[in-house]
């Protein structure tokens, strides 16, 4: 059982969805990023997505783009991302890297997978990688018992959802709305429809991300998904109100996922 | 190498190419691949494209014998494939007309594009006006400044131009923004990528639409000279004009294929845009290819006087040609390119784009090197892809050569600042 499998089993036993929080390593500084991630875990975030800062983050809206730019300007490097993973993993909460492919490619994906494993990482979400392009990466993950997490989107065909369902381990990341990351006032029913379509193809847990920013939205999503993923809202909280802001939002979201009425 | 074997069914050129994109785009890429492959053998589509290329874009473009330029190339005979005479002033129109027809077939009515020098943006805005599509063009803020003429052209043609102020404020970041738009609006929108870059099928499809350059050039040079040329030379940004003219010659092993990347301040300074010359394989904008990057896998900043070549990546098929040794690539510094631009203007009366000037510098260099190695200059025939005309670059060139006074520079900056204030 991987660390993510354990987490989802525990949440299922508690009758609730998991809460996954995203922050990029190195933003606004190495130390504050780690401090904020530890605060998230203390306030009830179940797993941390550690963002790997990248010059060309294609799936990100303005908030996370700016955070990546700042982290890179601070001199954040792969080694810092891995140290951040280590700090989070030491709390017992699973740490999953959210990373664009080129930095991993450059590091050498087998070497990088080993480094992630050594840091105590649970797996990696790869937003610009599709299963067909990643046979060696999948092999490395299998050898090291890391969870590779690919995304599905509302535009994915059922055949593609099935491919991702067969390939992923840990969970399936469902990008709830078409578009880049960033808070949305309304989530619409796209997420619910996508989760149903994923469930028809795989028994893996389904996490819903992109657009979720409030406790109320977390409650809504937690009513039908196995995990709620929050990114931009936490980054904005850290940017505007510091670690304390992250603490308060995490508590609100943790309460939100626990308030959901589940079928 | 057998040119027609690449890419394979999954869009790989050997170990390059492929699809490194958000899952959200895969369905649209599959749809586009199917549409393109069907169109390739559809006589109705091909006839319509041919009609547009002939009656609208002005094809075939001529092959011009550049007699006076020859002395700068060690005496070699230089033939110019005149893409600068195509409608809108560059080769970009060939690809855009093909993709516009596909857009129509796929039933989409909104088109987006990225542009560096603005030539691809102008070509896209032109086709959108012709086909009645909504058009949005993303352009780095730095490029809207150095290619201001093309910004005005795009607006006159009815396109919305969105200046991009993130990252390096050039072509790379304009492409990022266009990709973000596409991920959001892919249901209704076609993204007309302007070069042989991006996820499959773009490198294959754009090459197929640009091959017409090489097909015509090959026939024209055989008619004019009675044999194949010794070398075909082109500038390489993303690599579409180069791939277009190279491709029909790839299996003619006696023809040297020479690609000229942007050498910026000199490749040895690290300030350039020459990934095939000084990069390593990596992934950017959806494909694996040579890439300018640091040892942590972050994309490097680029430097070039030419907005159209100022890009850290390059098309995957060029990476394959490079590794196979079938084509050779080198970086032409800004100063050589500008010197070549002046020579071409003064010896042939052709004011070319700064992008294109890199190819002339490279061609002259190649000719002189052959002569130095003992080849008879009178036996040498070099075809240079004259990818575009230089109207858009007059401002940059005038400054480079000191043809405007400090006062005029200040005044034009004032005008521009004032224009920037208007809504
Ligand atoms: C005239 C001209 N030549 C060349 C290029 C470079 O593009 P590519 O390498 O795709 O031909 C551009 C791009 O803007 C251009 O405008």
Per-residue model confidence (pLDDT) at position B200: 98
Put simply, the answer to whether B183 touches A178 (Cβ < 8 Å) is yes
Q: Return the percentage of chain B with pLDDT > 70, whole number.
A: 95
Query: In whole numbers, what is the pLDDT of chain B averaged over residues?
Result: 95
Distance B19 CA to ligand 1 centre (A): 23
- pLDDT at position A109 over 60: yes
Put simply, the answer to whether B20 touches A130 (Cβ < 8 Å) is yes
Q: Which mutation among B95, B150, B235 tests ligand 1's pocket best, with the greatest number of atoms within 8 A of CB? A: B235
Adjacent-strand bridge partners of B111: B135, B190
- pLDDT at position B183 over 70: yes
Put simply, the answer to whether A56 touches B187 (Cβ < 8 Å) is no
Ramachandran category for residue A118: left, alpha or beta (phi over 0 → left; psi -120 to 50 → alpha): alpha
Rounded to whole angstroms, how far apart are CA atoms A89 and B237?
Answer: 44
The residue in chain B having the minimum alpha-carbon distance to the alpha carbon of residue A129 is B20
- Cβ neighbors of A232 (< 8 A, separation 6 or more) are A61, A63, A64, A181, A182, A183, A213
| Greater model confidence, A64 or A186 | A64
Please give the full DSSP string across A86-153, using - where no structure is assigned.
HHHHTTTS-EEEE--HHHHHHH-HHHHHHHHHHTT--EEE-TT--GGG-HHHHHHHHHHT-EEE-EE-
| Chain A residues within 8 angstroms (CB to CB) of chain B | 54-56, 58-59, 61, 65, 69, 72, 77-78, 101-107, 127-130, 132-133, 150-157, 160, 164, 175, 178-180
Average pLDDT over residues A169-176: 95
Average pLDDT over residues B290-315: 97
Put simply, the answer to whether A160 touches B184 (Cβ < 8 Å) is no
Average pLDDT over residues B46-62: 98
Per-residue model confidence (pLDDT) at position B411: 63
Per-residue model confidence (pLDDT) at position B409: 63
Structure tokens at B24: 């959200």
Q: Which mutation among B61, B90, B307, B385 tests ligand 1's pocket best, with the greatest number of atoms within 8 A of CB? A: B90
List, in order of start, the domains of chain A with CATH numbers: 3-259 (3.20.20.70)
**SS3 state of residue B293:** strand
| Greater model confidence, B88 or B2 | B88
Local confidence band at A183 (pLDDT 50, 70, 90 cut-offs): confident
The alpha-carbon radius of gyration of chain A (Å, integer) is 16
- Cβ neighbors of B103 (< 8 A, separation 6 or more) are B111, B131, B133, B190, B192
Q: Return the percentage of chain A with pLDDT > 70, whole number.
A: 100
Range in A125-134, B19-28, B401-410 with the lowest mean pLDDT: B401-410
- pLDDT at position B227 over 70: yes
Per-residue model confidence (pLDDT) at position B23: 94
**SS3 state of residue B235:** strand
- pLDDT at position B423 over 60: no
The residue in chain B having the minimum alpha-carbon distance to the alpha carbon of residue A134 is B20
Per-residue model confidence (pLDDT) at position B185: 95
Per-residue model confidence (pLDDT) at position B420: 45
Which residues contact ligand 1 via a Cβ below 6 A? B 90, 116-117, 119-120, 195, 235-242, 308-309, 353, 355-356, 387-388
Per-residue model confidence (pLDDT) at position B415: 56
Local confidence band at A188 (pLDDT 50, 70, 90 cut-offs): confident
- Atom in ligand 1 nearest the alpha carbon of residue B197: 10
The alpha-carbon radius of gyration of chain B (Å, integer) is 20
What secondary structure letter does DSSP report for B90?
B
Q: Which residue has the tokens 């784009």?
A: B353
- pLDDT at position B352 over 60: yes
Per-residue model confidence (pLDDT) at position B266: 97
Closest partner residue to B297 among A105, A127, A151, by Cβ?
A105
Per-residue model confidence (pLDDT) at position A182: 83
Distance B103 CA to ligand 1 centre (A): 22
| A/B interface, count of CB pairs below 8 Å | 112
- pLDDT at position A65 over 90: yes
Put simply, the answer to whether B167 touches A69 (Cβ < 8 Å) is yes
Local confidence band at A211 (pLDDT 50, 70, 90 cut-offs): confident
Structure tokens at B62: 């001529």
- pLDDT at position A262 over 90: no
Average pLDDT over residues A15-44: 98
Local confidence band at A263 (pLDDT 50, 70, 90 cut-offs): confident
Query: In whole numbers, what is the pLDDT of chain A averaged over residues?
Result: 96
Contact between A191 and A168 (Cβ < 8 Å) = no
Please give the full DSSP string across A223-257, using - where no structure is assigned.
TT-SEEEE-HHHHHHHHHHHHHHHHHHHHHHHHHH
Local confidence band at B414 (pLDDT 50, 70, 90 cut-offs): low
Distance B241 CA to ligand 1 centre (A): 6
Closest partner residue to B26 among A69, A107, A160, by Cβ?
A160
Closest partner residue to A180 among B180, B186, B296, by Cβ?
B180
Per-residue model confidence (pLDDT) at position B207: 98
Per-residue model confidence (pLDDT) at position A200: 98
Which of B383, B381, B387 lies closest to B74 in space, CA to CA? B381
Adjacent-strand bridge partners of A149: A125
Per-residue model confidence (pLDDT) at position A172: 98
pLDDT for B244-265, tens place per residue?
A: 999 999 999 999 999 999 999 9
Distance B356 CA to ligand 1 centre (A): 8
| Alpha-carbon gap: B148 to the closest alpha carbon of chain A (Å) | 25
ipTM of the complex: 0.96
The residue in chain B having the minimum alpha-carbon distance to the alpha carbon of residue A81 is B296
- pLDDT at position B408 over 70: no
Contact between B63 and A192 (Cβ < 8 Å) = no
Put simply, the answer to whether B184 touches A130 (Cβ < 8 Å) is no
């Amino acid at each position: 059982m991987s660390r993510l499998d354990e987490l989802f089993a525990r949440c299922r036993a508690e009758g609730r969805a998991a809460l996954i929080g995203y922050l990029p390593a190195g933003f606004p500084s190495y130390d504050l990023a780690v401090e904020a991630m530890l605060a998230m875990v203390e306030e009830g975030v179940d797993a941390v997505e550690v963002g790997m800062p990248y010059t060309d983050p294609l799936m990100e809206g303005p908030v996370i783009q700016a955070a990546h730019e700042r982290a890179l300007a601070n001199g954040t490097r792969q080694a810092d991302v891995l140290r951040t993973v280590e700090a989070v993993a030491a709390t017992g909460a699973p740490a999953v890297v959210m990373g664009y492919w080129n930095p991993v490619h450059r590091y050498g994906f087998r070497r990088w997978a080993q480094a992630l494993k050594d840091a105590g990482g649970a797996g990696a979400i790869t937003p610009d990688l599709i299963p067909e392009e990643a046979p060696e990466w999948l092999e490395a993950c299998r050898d090291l018992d890391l969870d590779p997490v690919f995304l599905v989107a509302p535009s994915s065909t059922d055949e593609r959802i099935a491919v991702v369902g067969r390939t992923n381990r840990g969970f399936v990341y469902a990008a709830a709305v078409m578009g880049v990351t960033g808070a949305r006032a309304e989530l619409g029913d796209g997420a619910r429809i996508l989760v149903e379509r994923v469930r028809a193809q795989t028994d893996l847990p389904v996490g819903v991300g992109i657009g979720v920013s409030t406790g109320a939205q977390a409650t809504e999503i937690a009513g039908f998904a196995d995990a709620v993923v929050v990114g931009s809202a936490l980054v904005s909280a850290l940017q505007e109100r510091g670690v304390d802001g992250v603490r308060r939002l995490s508590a609100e979201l943790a309460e939100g996922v626990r308030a959901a009425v589940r079928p | 190498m057998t040119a027609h074997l690449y890419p394979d069914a999954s869009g790989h050129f050997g170990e390059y190419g492929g699809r490194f994109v958000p899952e959200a785009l895969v369905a649209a890429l599959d749809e586009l691949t199917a549409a393109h492959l069907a169109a390739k053998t559809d006589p109705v589509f091909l006839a319509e494209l041919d009609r547009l290329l002939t009656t609208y874009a002005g094809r075939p473009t001529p092959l011009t014998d550049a007699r006076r330029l020859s002395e700068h190339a060690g005496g070699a005979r230089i033939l110019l494939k005149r893409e600068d005479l195509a409608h809108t002033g560059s080769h970009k129109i060939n690809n855009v007309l093909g993709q516009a027809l596909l857009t129509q077939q796929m039933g989409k009515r909104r088109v987006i594009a990225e542009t560096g020098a603005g030539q691809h943006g102008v070509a896209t805005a032109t086709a959108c006006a012709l086909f009645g599509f909504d058009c949005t063009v993303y352009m780095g803020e730095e490029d809207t400044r150095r290619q201001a003429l093309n910004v005005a052209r795009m607006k006159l043609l009815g396109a919305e131009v969105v200046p991009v102020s993130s990252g390096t404020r050039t072509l790379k970041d304009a492409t990022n923004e266009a990709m973000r738009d596409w991920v959001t609006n892919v249901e209704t929108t076609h993204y007309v990528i302007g070069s042989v870059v991006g996820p499959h099928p773009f490198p294959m499809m754009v090459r197929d639409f640009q091959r017409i350059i090489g097909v015509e050039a090959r026939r024209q040079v055989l008619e004019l000279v009675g044999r194949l040329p010794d070398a075909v030379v082109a500038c390489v940004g993303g690599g579409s004009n180069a791939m277009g003219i190279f491709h029909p010659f790839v299996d003619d092993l006696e023809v040297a294929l020479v690609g000229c990347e942007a050498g910026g301040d000199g490749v040895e300074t690290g300030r350039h845009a020459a990934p095939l010359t000084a990069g390593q394989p990596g992934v950017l904008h959806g494909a694996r290819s040579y890439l300018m990057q640091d040892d942590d896998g972050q994309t490097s900043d680029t430097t070039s006087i030419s907005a159209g070549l100022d890009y850290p990546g390059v098309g995957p098929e060029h990476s394959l040609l490079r590794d196979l040794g079938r084509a050779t690539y080198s970086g032409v510094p800004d100063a050589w390119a500008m010197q070549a631009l002046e020579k071409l203007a003064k010896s042939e009366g052709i004011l070319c784009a700064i992008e294109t000037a890199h190819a002339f510098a490279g061609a002259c260099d190649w000719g002189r090197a052959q002569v130095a190695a003992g080849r008879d200059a009178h036996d040498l025939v070099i075809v240079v892809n004259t990818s575009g005309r230089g109207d858009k670059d007059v401002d940059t060139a005038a400054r480079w050569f000191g043809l405007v006074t400090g006062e005029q520079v200040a005044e034009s900056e004032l005008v521009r600042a004032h224009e920037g204030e208007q809504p």
